[in-house]
Chains A and B, each alone.
Chain A
Amino acid sequence: MPRVDDRLPGGRWVEQIMGLPILVDVRDDVDEDQVSELFDWFRHVDRAFSTYIDDSEISRLNRGELDLDDADPEVCSVLARCDELREETDGYFDVRAAAAETIDPSGLVKGWSVDRAALIAERHGWRNYAINAGGDMRLHGSALPDASWRVGIQHPTLRQKIAGVVRTNDLAVATSGNYARGEHVFDPHTHQPPTGVFSVTITGPVLATADAYATAALAMGTAGSAWTARLASYEAMTILADETVLFTPGFPRAA
């Protein structure tokens, strides 16, 4: 659990789990054991959900060695939520889309595990923290000594630039983009990658939901931004390939 040494209050730790760099930034004085508990949680999630680990519950479900009725209740609840989100997104968020008969819930697990990690942080009484899993994150309180957290939205073509700033005291922020090779977002209906959209950023109370909405809106292509305008409790920023940016009216932009 490497700790980044700097002069800011609290501490910052980074570790690679679930194939992602996970960054925990706490601006309160916290017990390092509590930080370990968060990273232990992410490792537990990886063991249960990874499609790369042979004896994970998901791998065993996919091979037919494990019945859903016998699976861990956590695994069942994540898969149930995946089904709900498929309905909500008109099938654009589909954990079964990659290959028939196999499930890859990693698109939801990342956000869900961060939401649960935030609950651990709350239980320990952390007041000012950010938990970031590969660019999708939950933020609470403020980045002391500043009065809030400032989150840059990655510019789609200029690596060192940002296309906007979200300012918040309590929010989840997720971005899906097809400007990056690492993401495999495609339209489950046509099995083609979406065109005309660089990225979709969704903010709202729950990261798992925000992340699924971002993936779905991106898969919808240019129709996605109109769909985001209908979401309740969630706001969106869509960057189109023609370099137009579309915001829902309540998007929490920094002034």
Chain B
Amino acid sequence: MRKFITLVLGVTALALPIVDAFAAAKAQATVPKKKVITVSKTFTGAIAQTDRWGDMQVRIVVRKTTTIVIKTKKKTVTRKLISVKAPVSPNHTDRSIYINEQALPTLIQEALQAQSSGVDMVSGATDSSIAFQTSLQSAILQAKAW
């Protein structure tokens, strides 16, 4: 394919005076077929309440790409979800951690830990998810109307 294009260009260049070929190439370069506009915007979901963890509010970033075909003026809009974040300020205090001396024979007993190491998924009861999805849904609805 590349060979073919090179060949065609070569033939064209040979057929035309060198100055005209340059002008034609320049003219072609300044008349694009499509216009692409990309913008990103952050949407903040409604505040949803959880029992223990206080308020949950989801923030999403959406990238909107508008492609306009110059000739037909046909416009296509795509919206892509770039990121989902749930910044939360917990409204409770840490309780003291202690170890229960009464161990069960077949189970390994430990004190509750609070880790923050990177994981791929989190398994938990669904309250946070319900609040999360309520907030997420409202953010997505805003983005759809954008």
Given A162-B119, A243-B111 in contact, is the A16-B137 Cβ separation under 8 Å?
Answer: yes
Complex CA–CA separation, A166 to B119 (angstroms)? 9
Number of A-B contacts (CB under 8 A): 197
Q: For the complex, would chain A's binding face be called helix, strand, loop or mixed by DSSP majority?
A: strand
Which residues on the A side are within 8 Å of B99 (C-beta)?
A: 244
Given A159-B53, A239-B112: A249 and B123 within 8 A (CB)? no
**Could you mark each residue 131-168 of chain A with 1 if its beta carbon is under 8 Å from any beta carbon of chain B, else 0?**
01011110100010010011111111111111111100
Given contacts A2-B81, A5-B81, A20-B126, contact A245 B110 (CB under 8 A): yes
Asked if A51 is an interface residue, CB under 8 A from chain B, the answer is no
The interface stretch among B4-12, B28-36, B128-136 is: B128-136
Given contacts A164-B113, A225-B107, A239-B112, are A175 and B123 in contact (CB under 8 A)? yes
Which of these binds chain B: A67-75, A94-102, A116-124, A179-187? A179-187
Partner of B125, one of A2, A179, A248: A179
Q: Which listed residue, A130, A136, A244, touches B120 by the CB 8 Å rule?
A: A130
Chain A count of residues within 8 A CB distance of the other chain: 66
Residues of B within 8 A of A243 (CB): 95, 97-98, 111-112
The contact size tier of chain B is 35 or more
**Do residues A163 and B115 form an inter-chain contact, with CB atoms below 8 A?**
yes
The answer to whether A137 and B121 touch (CB under 8 A), given A5-B82, A180-B52, A243-B98, is yes
Interface string of B24-66 (1 = CB under 8 A from A): 0000000000000000000000000011111000000001000
Nearest CB on B from A50, distance (A)? 16
Q: Does A209 interact with chain B (Cβ within 8 Å)?
A: no
Report A-chain residues with C-beta under 8 Å of the C-beta of B23: none
The residue that A161 contacts in the complex, of B98, B116, B126, B131, with Cβ under 8 A, is B116
Cβ–Cβ < 8 Å partners of A165 in chain B:
115, 117, 119
Q: Known: A135-B122, A160-B116, A165-B115. Is A248-B82 also a contact (CB below 8 A)?
A: no
- A228 → B minimal CB distance (Å): 8
5 A-B contacts (beta carbon < 8 Å): A150-B121, A152-B119, A157-B92, A245-B113, A246-B104
Which B residues lie at the A interface, using CB under 8 A? 50-54, 63, 80-84, 88, 90, 92, 94-95, 97-100, 104, 106-133, 136-137, 140
Taking Cβ atoms with an 8 Å cutoff, the residues of A that contact B are 2-5, 14, 16, 19-21, 23, 25, 130, 132, 134-137, 139, 143, 146, 149-166, 173-183, 199, 201, 225-226, 229, 238-240, 242-249, 251
